Amino acid sequence: MFGKGIRIFRLLGFDVRVDASWIIVAVLLTWSLARSVFPHYVSGLSLSTYWLMGALGMLGLFASVVFHELSHSIVARRFGLPIKGITLFIFGGVSEMEDEPQNAKTEFFMAVAGPLASIVAGIAFMAARAWARSSGAPASATWLFFYLGFINLMLAGFNLLPAFPLDGGRVFRAVLWNYKKDIFQATRIASRTGNVFGWFLIVAGILFVVTGQFVTGMWWVLIGLFLRGASQSSLLRLEMQLALKGHPVRQFMNENPVTVPPSITLHELVTQYLYHYHFKMYPVVDNGALLGSITTNEIKAVPREEWDRRLVGQATMPCSSETCISAGMDAMDALKIMSRHNRSRLLVVDGGRLAGVIALKDLLKFISLKMDLEGAQGPSA
């Protein structure tokens, strides 16, 4: 859906990142507030004041979205659900869950935490506006508080729409999940609802464009497309988890993988292995002992003119939790490691020795086959 983002700070144990798309929004929002919104509501201020109001409004929205997502993350952590961090992107923010909630109760409380936080922030800013007006504060301050109060209440209202994966859609899924006792069926219904809302926004956006409101219309279309894509990808992710649930890594691993000795040069590795077998990662084994692995990244880190002199053993990456797993690990956990660290193959280790290699393509083939056979009824546990 978006890239890894740029880490800007750590708050209460959560990494807060911004996607490149948010930077674009920040610039456009500052410009829009400074050149259009604030001059429309309060006239006679200097250009520098308008730009200051625009910048503060943008930063206030940034803080509001972080506060919204932080509320989700704190509640999730309270219920034992791991959160990798918070990322802001073009359409707002997201708390990056590593797993689905374990029950409907967790889903419900985590979902409502964000809108409640936005409502609290909105009321607080509106109260600040009332105080500023009564105390004779400059108009720039009162309108800035009004904007931040209004935008927080709008953020809460939009997220409460029953369109999965918005917060309201997650509340809807939690209710269905509690009633049906089946997360897959609940997610499928909630995802369809999100898809319908997405189409509604797209059609409404097209009507705005036709009537001459091009910018507003395009935003509605983009949000609708995002909502449809997010609802479908959320359902697909759950289907993948359920398809792999209960299946150990040993079921998918290749027990006789191609290995390389540490004594050959990088040039020999490229010509005799990479160009022959077409894998990007190879286990490095010396007399039966696993030394680690070597990938195209380690090769590219060495200047090409040194490939004839540098040995594989000198560029080998030792085993770590990012590259080596056990044969008894759940296959879904292996898939998460691959996704988290952008790897297509992992080493399977047993007692310090190489037991095999598991590849992303093999997991995806199994998921595709199982979903094709069982998709109409939902994956079995």
Any idea where the domains of the chain sit in the sequence? 6-244, 249-373
Q: Please give the Cα distance from 177 to 185 (Å, whole number).
A: 8
DSSP state, 289? E
- Identify any residues that bridge with 349 across adjacent strands, giving them in sequence order: 354
Position 321 scores a pLDDT of 84
| Residue pLDDT, tens place only, 193-223 | 888 888 998 998 899 888 887 777 887 888 8
Residue 3 has pLDDT above 60, yes or no: no
Q: Does residue 353 sit in helix, strand or coil? A: strand
Residue 308, C-beta contacts closer than 8 angstroms, at least 6 positions apart: 265, 266, 267
In CATH, the architecture of 249-373 is Roll (3.10)
Q: What is the pLDDT confidence band of residue 283, given thresholds at 50, 70 and 90? A: very high
Q: Please give the Cα distance from 248 to 66 (Å, whole number).
A: 37
- Which residue is listed with tokens 């509605």? 220
Position 91 scores a pLDDT of 63
- Which residue is listed with tokens 């189409």? 199
Q: Please give the Cα distance from 70 to 74 (Å, whole number).
A: 6
Mean pLDDT across the chain: 84
Is residue 149 within 8 Å of 126, Cβ to Cβ? Answer: yes
Residue 153 has pLDDT above 80, yes or no: yes
| Residue pLDDT, tens place only, 88-118 | 776 667 777 766 777 888 889 988 998 999 9
- Identify any residues that bridge with 324 across adjacent strands, giving them in sequence order: 347
Residue 178 has which token pair? 């509690």
| Residue pLDDT, tens place only, 315-354 | 999 988 888 988 888 888 888 888 777 888 899 998 778 8
Q: What is the pLDDT confidence band of residue 5, given thresholds at 50, 70 and 90? A: low
Q: What is the pLDDT confidence band of residue 130, given thresholds at 50, 70 and 90? A: very high
Instruction: Give CA torsion, residues 179, 181, 183, 187, to 10 deg.
Output: -30
pLDDT over 70, % of the chain: 94
Is residue 80 within 8 Å of 65, Cβ to Cβ? Answer: no
Phi, psi for 352 (deg, rounded to 5) = 80, 0
Q: What is the pLDDT confidence band of residue 381, given thresholds at 50, 70 and 90? A: very low
Residue 1 has pLDDT above 50, yes or no: no
Is residue 121 within 8 Å of 152, Cβ to Cβ? Answer: yes
Helix 167-180, helix 183-210: angle, nearest 10: 150
